Amino acid sequence: MSADEGQRFHAEVARACEEAHRAASFMRSSTPSFRADLLSALANRVADRAGELVAVVADETQLSPGRVESEIGRTTGQLRLLGAHTWDASAFETDPPVVSNGVTQPELQLGSIPLGPVAVFPASNFPMAFGVLGGDTASALAAGCPVVIKPHPAQPATSALLADIVHDVVAAVGCPAGVAAVLEDSSVSAGLALVADSYIKAAGFTGSHHAGRSLFDLAAARVEPIPVYAEMGSVNPVLVTRAATAERLGSIAEELAASIEGSAGQFCTKPGVVVVSSAHAEQFTAALVGAMAGASQPMLTSQMAENFEETAREAAELDAVIVELPPQRDGRCVTPAVLRTSLDQLQHAVVRAENFGPSAVLIEADQADWPQVLDMLGGQLTITIHGQPSDIETLRPTMFDVAQYAGRVIWNGVPTGVRVSPAQQHGGPYPATTASWSTSVGVHAIDRWLRPVAWQSLPGGLLSSADPAAS
Amino acid sequence: MSADEGQRFHAEVARACEEAHRAASFMRSSTPSFRADLLSALANRVADRAGELVAVVADETQLSPGRVESEIGRTTGQLRLLGAHTWDASAFETDPPVVSNGVTQPELQLGSIPLGPVAVFPASNFPMAFGVLGGDTASALAAGCPVVIKPHPAQPATSALLADIVHDVVAAVGCPAGVAAVLEDSSVSAGLALVADSYIKAAGFTGSHHAGRSLFDLAAARVEPIPVYAEMGSVNPVLVTRAATAERLGSIAEELAASIEGSAGQFCTKPGVVVVSSAHAEQFTAALVGAMAGASQPMLTSQMAENFEETAREAAELDAVIVELPPQRDGRCVTPAVLRTSLDQLQHAVVRAENFGPSAVLIEADQADWPQVLDMLGGQLTITIHGQPSDIETLRPTMFDVAQYAGRVIWNGVPTGVRVSPAQQHGGPYPATTASWSTSVGVHAIDRWLRPVAWQSLPGGLLSSADPAAS
């Protein structure tokens, strides 16, 4: 997928990007309350049509209606939370004028400004919360950026229903259509044309490493490079101290089992690697396997189920890998897999790579080997440590070295269940994301679509903006 | 300059990066006061050796001793200011745990962590403030990141003296040598090897578009891409309203003349394009040319003087371009140039591109044409507006559209003279920089070398770090 391929003319994409470009000026001059109202109207419409959404999404994704319902709640909550933190053009930091050594240093007011049209690539594993009206769209609109959304090709019915909602609400609140467009073409080439379009100023993506890196490469090769905020998954290592295994082996195994097999393991924060001292490894594995429900669950697509089984099978073929729980596949449905091996087997990509689905690899390694394990695994969304109060003294000097590999560090918990809140950081060093300094969940997700502007010696009254809804 | 070329083995670079990698852990666990002391010790040593520095720098750069002296003041001030805002690992935002719908949402504490070793590419036009101990080095050390500095090849004597200071101070305060290294090899290939080295996690650069873009491209093509904060210059348009010309033509011309020819125009914020209504263009140009001292000044290198004359000559050859003040060159010395033309001539790259040196292009265009002018000029470090109180009403609805093209917007001033302070934003949309969301001057320059980390459910006492200087 080269820049040239992406730069092919694509009529629908070109039209949508031009409309988004025209809408960018409207959004820049809209008031924070106008944008909050837009996000709130989107949340209301999603809530109004929740019944319909549950039916369509559950049917298309095979996620349980209960899970879809709770995701709808998360999505409307997210739209409202981000709407409450929408871009405010006023300065957040001011340096008053000063005279120093006879030279007057001018007043500076530091504010921010939206980047312009944003390309959004929804994920399939959260059809609502990371979907057409998910976090990327909500945060970009909150930042005052128009969005052009390329739907996930695996979910045409869900996307069409959400596109309908977007279209209705944008018109109802009095926005130009270019403020939020959902493309009809969900193909790879439409996505490449979108990121290559010179009117697009940034992109948000959640999905596979291959697709995310392709978009990143294309964006970097543009005449005007743009940032691609791609979240590409992680194995979310869980490190268990000897003291923790000795005290809480059973409860840790139970929590982890639920986190590994919930929603068929289709979470970017699924714990995929668990590190336990060799002294307890056998006992811990038995507890983990025992704690699993082990039921067959449908995955989002048949292709994903095939990939899952294939990756687990490939790893299992290595001599030093013990299969504790072999996965079974029946079409789109799979059962969980648990493998166990030693630290040195992490040299094999298939052992250390994310296997999207309900599986985990247990690594036998002592605490002294954690730095080596983390270094072999590379950048992560999360790292979890299970420890006891007696471990704190030993762990303290290592915590920043641990944190260098992840965006979120968890003590005595599980990585799944990402809180949508101001202090959330859902990101991490490459290859977890392409932009470790950003988050795709929480209030700071808005920051990705803004950049700072310093206003020097500006007179009062020059920056106040009119409410376009009131005009 | 492909990734392959850069990835050639380079012994000195490889050794420096490995030492920086080892020093990264030391820096991550150092205390804020230790880093503040390091920066302050660097500032003190620079101040102690100011006499020597003035002589060496003035001789090598041909900048006046007074200018070098004031830059040394700026550099020591910058080291101290950034040292006072050094990275603090403690959380700056906290979400307390809450129970909602029967589910406990865990506590999150949002803090930050240094990226790791930073490659620094000093600029030649500020041999001190953007030099070996300039803003990139100071901000990276303040962020807790080791630096590997590739000196500017045009300033070997200045670089050697500063390297000596770095070496002495790093040893004196008890840092491992890898905390700050200055390469002996200042070649292009050393720079490419540096950015390609897998231990390097980010780069700071100030200089030409060609070199900045090469580093950006190389960094984006790495197996693990890294951010390159490249500041690559700008024409810093100055827009003058009719009312301002009518009221203050003489004083605006005087201020601008000084800003254009000061330090031989070798500032990235030099106003290179001035937009004046055609009604006043002739009178304004006469005033501007009249206000210039017009003296011959040495440039930083002979090559720069040649490029300056060549670019001005090429633009002057266009039919519709009037030469109001022709540049003269004698070896490394040049006199200022002023050209005048119409808006449509901006179609020629040579008219709209930065000409590094004491020159400006006057564009005849009315206020209604400003959007077109700005769009043709593209991303800028600064945009300056000269206006009267009577202009505010008309300008207000356009201010965010103006700001979309620049990192700093100035009212009734000149773009040169960049204040080093908390609310400064020295950056801007591509091609002014490769990362419009960052600043290379001021306190927020530190942010470039940090990324957020969310600590989930962390017990007290796990994060406190020891002072390595005290151990």
* CATH among 3.50.50.60, 3.40.220.10, 3.40.605.10, 2.60.40.3880 for A3-232+433-470: 3.40.605.10
Query: Quick check: A426 and A441 in contact, CB under 8 A?
Result: yes
DSSP B271: -
The chain B residue lying nearest A22, using CA atoms, is B401
Query: To the nearest 10°, the Cα dihedral for B41, B42, B47, B53?
Result: 150
CA distances to A393, A432, B38, B457, B462 from B469, rounded to whole Å, are 20, 34, 10, 30, 20
- The pLDDT assigned to B383 comes to 98
**Catalytic residue IDs of B:** 231, 268
Q: Write b or e for each residue in A23-46: b if 16 or more Cβ atoms lie within 10 A of its Cβ, otherwise e.
A: bbbbbbbbbbebbbbbbbbbbebb
Nearest 5 degrees, angle CA A148-CA A435-CA B12? 140
Is B340 in a helix, a strand, or coil? strand
Has residue B6 got a pLDDT over 70? Answer: no
As a whole number, the mean pLDDT across chain A is: 95
CA distances to A234, A373, A384, B141 from A345, rounded to whole Å, are 18, 10, 21, 37
Task: Give me the DSSP letters along B68-85.
Answer: HHHHHHHHHHHHHHHHTT
- The pLDDT assigned to A1 comes to 41
Q: Mutating which of A232, A377, A409 best tests the B interface, going by the most B Cβ atoms within 10 A?
A: A409
- The pLDDT assigned to B8 comes to 60
- From B192's Cα to the closest Cα of chain A, the distance in A is 17
Query: Quick check: B79 and B42 in contact, CB under 8 A?
Result: yes
User: Which residues in chain B are closer than 8 Å to A431, comparing Cβ atoms?
Assistant: 224
How far apart, in whole angstroms, are the C-alpha atoms of residue A372 and residue A344?
A: 10
Q: At a CB cut-off of 8 Å and minimum separation 6, what does B94 contact?
A: A423, B107, B108, B109, B110
Nearest 5 degrees, angle CA B200-CA B202-CA B207? 115
User: Which residues in chain B are closer than 8 Å to A145, comparing Cβ atoms?
Assistant: none
How far apart, in whole angstroms, are the C-alpha atoms of residue A206 and residue B374?
A: 34
Has residue A308 got a pLDDT over 70? Answer: yes
CB atoms within 10 A of CB B264: 27
pLDDT tens per residue, range B144-181: 999 999 999 999 999 999 999 999 999 999 999 999 99
CA distances to A275, A318, A324, A372, B40 from A341, rounded to whole Å, are 10, 10, 10, 15, 50
How far apart, in whole angstroms, are the C-alpha atoms of residue B445 and residue A289?
A: 50
Has residue B468 got a pLDDT over 90? Answer: no
- The pLDDT assigned to B63 comes to 95
CA distances to A191, B62, B342, B415 from B123, rounded to whole Å, are 38, 15, 33, 19
Is A33 in a helix, a strand, or coil? helix
User: Which residues in chain B are closer than 8 Å to A406, comparing Cβ atoms?
Assistant: 453
Cβ of B407 and A93 within 8 Å? Answer: no
- Fold of the CATH domain A238-411: Aldehyde Dehydrogenase; Chain A, domain 2 (3.40.309)
Nearest 5 degrees, angle CA B167-CA B169-CA B173? 125
Query: Quick check: B340 and B288 in contact, CB under 8 A?
Result: no
Confidence class of residue A3 from pLDDT cuts 50, 70 and 90?
very low
- The pLDDT assigned to B471 comes to 34
What average pLDDT does range B436-450 have in this prediction? 98
Has residue B207 got a pLDDT over 70? Answer: yes
- Looking at per-residue pLDDT, the higher value among B1 and A458 belongs to A458
pLDDT tens per residue, range B266-325: 999 999 999 999 999 999 999 999 999 999 999 999 999 999 999 999 999 999 999 999
Q: How many CA atoms lie within 13 A of A423 on its CB side?
A: 21
- The pLDDT assigned to A5 comes to 46
Task: Give me the DSSP letters along B125-155.
Answer: SSTTTTSTTSHHHHHHHHTT--EEE---TT-
Cβ of A413 and B456 within 8 Å? Answer: yes
Confidence class of residue A355 from pLDDT cuts 50, 70 and 90?
very high
Confidence class of residue A9 from pLDDT cuts 50, 70 and 90?
confident
Strands A329-330 and A333-334: antiparallel
Q: Mutating which of A35, A110, A236, A467 best tests the B interface, going by the most B Cβ atoms within 10 A?
A: A110
Give which of A416, A258, A260, A256 is closest to A337, Cα–Cα. A260
- The pLDDT assigned to B465 comes to 54
What average pLDDT does range A369-386 have in this prediction? 98
The chain B residue lying nearest A467, using CA atoms, is B397
A-B Cβ pairs (cutoff 8 Å, strict): 218
pLDDT tens per residue, range A228-255: 999 998 999 999 999 999 999 999 999 9
Domain boundaries, chain A: 3-232+433-470, 238-411
What average pLDDT does range A354-366 have in this prediction? 97
Cβ of A459 and B389 within 8 Å? Answer: yes
Cβ of A400 and B452 within 8 Å? Answer: no
How far apart, in whole angstroms, are the C-alpha atoms of residue A216 and residue A10?
A: 19
Has residue A467 got a pLDDT over 70? Answer: no
Domains B3-232+433-470 and B238-411 share a fold: no
Has residue A131 got a pLDDT over 50? Answer: yes
**Residue corresponding to tokens 């080892």:** B22
The share of chain B scoring above pLDDT 90, in percent, equals 94
pTM for this model (two decimals): 0.96
Cβ of B430 and A395 within 8 Å? Answer: no
Has residue A7 got a pLDDT over 70? Answer: no
Name the residue facing A453 among B408, B456, B459 (closest C-beta): B408
DSSP A107: P
Has residue A125 got a pLDDT over 60? Answer: yes
- The pLDDT assigned to B2 comes to 45
